A and B are shown apart, each in its own frame.
Chain A
């Protein structure tokens, strides 16, 4: 449908007013149209800062961001950011939340067709009239996703949008978001702490390190179609990413090992477990 945008950053660095340290060193990166990119790294390494700059919600202190060759200076409904909290408006129904972008951009004439369409896409077709406060966390995050998709964005920027969800919901949404973005050709940039999430969703992962925030390593994850933790290629990519992550974090192996199996995504589904026994 839409064709995702091409994104390029040139010498982007950022220092927060008041905060002395540089949040971002010097970032030069290029993201292809329709690509799914994961930014991964420990807390405070500048992932959210970079994502805000890509969206145009913040401007870098130095350098510039080009989207399809044009320098961006402000946010745009064609580059939608999603946060850890769904940030829905609690006084509005599901469809009002989803239609908000259309309303702001004078496209309410499309709402009748577009809102059911995106709600169907996130499998919430029957929930249009509900108040968003009556939905579960996962459903709320789906509404936020539908709201982000309603304006047919070229870029989706996700800042740990799934980290508050339970393992199964998260897994389902990781799969769905990747599918939707691939189907619609949306360029996806995903910030996460979670290595499995990166391997689930991204074509490429950039490992960042802090002080100042910088890109330390680049791992390609060439798996086509839906991904499952049980795939061999999944395991390979994850091992590679873990190694890069540890190198960037300067963190002991034991810490990382206990960190991964605990992570629910890696837990075999009940059927897998039965098959193994």
Chain B
């Protein structure tokens, strides 16, 4: 749950609110240091991107210079980025992304719909935790992709099979993170609520869910990472849409610039989704010291 690093800066910003009498100078000092910190981290971000581009460019040059690999020269940044702008302009980028996002959303939906309630049961009921420990750990260790043949047989559509594979991969982080969040709830929070007359549904919606919201979101963030990784190989299956299909298709047609551009799209979207979730975690976090 401490992956949400931005919380510390937020905490620093809250400190002065505690003593209203403290001088304005302290506030502005604090703001200055926050802005300074922001600029510094922006600098590192830009430098990191430049570094990545440089390595990519260098790799491209080496591939182009090699007699064996010359055919793959389109992997280099310049052809890739040209093709990428092209794909964005024509709407192709959008077109291949939407089905994938839809599959990810469906897969995550099921992972959350099943993972959170089961996680709460695992965290709350010792007997259930002991009973499910071995089966869950066992199932978790099976690569989600090894379910592929079974999924294909069990589901009438390719679509269903892919969503299933994503769910199977994404459920574990949600489930375990929910369970561990529940076990870390202060026991006195339950006692006080019970004493004040909380009914079971109060306990769930007023105490438990807000208390573990950050754990659930951290779990979802991990789940998204796994789901995003599973997505591409899963889309190598029978479907004719989505990012995984686009990659396969580009390989078959030897359009390596399109292939590389698709890889860039996958990276950018995955990175953006993760950043959005990280932002949500920081926003929803009630924890002041983390």
A and B: bona fide binding partners: yes
Which residues from chain A sit less than 8 Å from chain B, CB to CB? 55, 57, 75-77, 79-81, 83, 85, 87, 89-91, 100-101, 103-105, 131, 133-134, 147, 151
Interface size, B (range): 20 to 34
**Are A100 and B193 closer than 8 Å at their CB atoms?**
yes
- Interface check B192, CB cutoff 8 A: yes
A103-B193 Cα distance, complex, nearest whole Å: 11
**Are B195 and A91 closer than 8 Å at their CB atoms?**
no
**Are A101 and B188 closer than 8 Å at their CB atoms?**
no
CB-CB contacts of B1-38 with A at 8 A, as 1s and 0s? 00000000000001001100000000000000000000
A134-B16 Cα distance, complex, nearest whole Å: 10
**A57-B211 CB under 8 A given contacts A87-B188, A104-B202:** no
**A90-B286 CB under 8 A given contacts A103-B206, A104-B202:** yes
A249-B102 Cα distance, complex, nearest whole Å: 70
**Are B189 and A101 closer than 8 Å at their CB atoms?**
no
**A57-B196 CB under 8 A given contacts A90-B287, A91-B210:** no
**Are B288 and A133 closer than 8 Å at their CB atoms?**
yes
**A85-B287 CB under 8 A given contacts A77-B197, A104-B193:** no
**Are A134 and B191 closer than 8 Å at their CB atoms?**
no
B194 / chain A contacts, CB cutoff of 8 Å: 57, 75
Q: How far is the CB of B104 from chain A (nearest CB, A)?
A: 29
Q: Which of B178-192 contact A (CB under 8 A)?
A: 186, 188-189, 191-192
**A87-B286 CB under 8 A given contacts A76-B197, A101-B197, A104-B202:** no
**A89-B197 CB under 8 A given contacts A57-B191, A134-B17:** no
Q: How far is the CB of A145 from chain B (nearest CB, A)?
A: 13
Decide if the interface of chain A is mainly helix, strand, loop or mixed.
mixed
**Are B287 and A57 closer than 8 Å at their CB atoms?**
no
B287 / chain A contacts, CB cutoff of 8 Å: 90
- Interface check B207, CB cutoff 8 A: yes
A79 / chain B contacts, CB cutoff of 8 Å: 195
A257-B196 Cα distance, complex, nearest whole Å: 40
- Interface check B279, CB cutoff 8 A: no
A57 / chain B contacts, CB cutoff of 8 Å: 191, 194-195
Which one of B14, B191, B288 has the highest number of Cβ atoms from chain A below 10 Å of its Cβ? B191
* Interchain residue pairs A-B with the least CB separation, the first 8: A91-B286, A87-B188, A101-B196, A77-B197, A104-B197, A133-B288, A75-B195, A104-B198
**A100-B286 CB under 8 A given contacts A81-B191, A91-B210:** no
Which one of A76, A103, A104 has the highest number of Cβ atoms from chain B below 10 Å of its Cβ? A104
Q: How far is the CB of B34 from chain A (nearest CB, A)?
A: 18
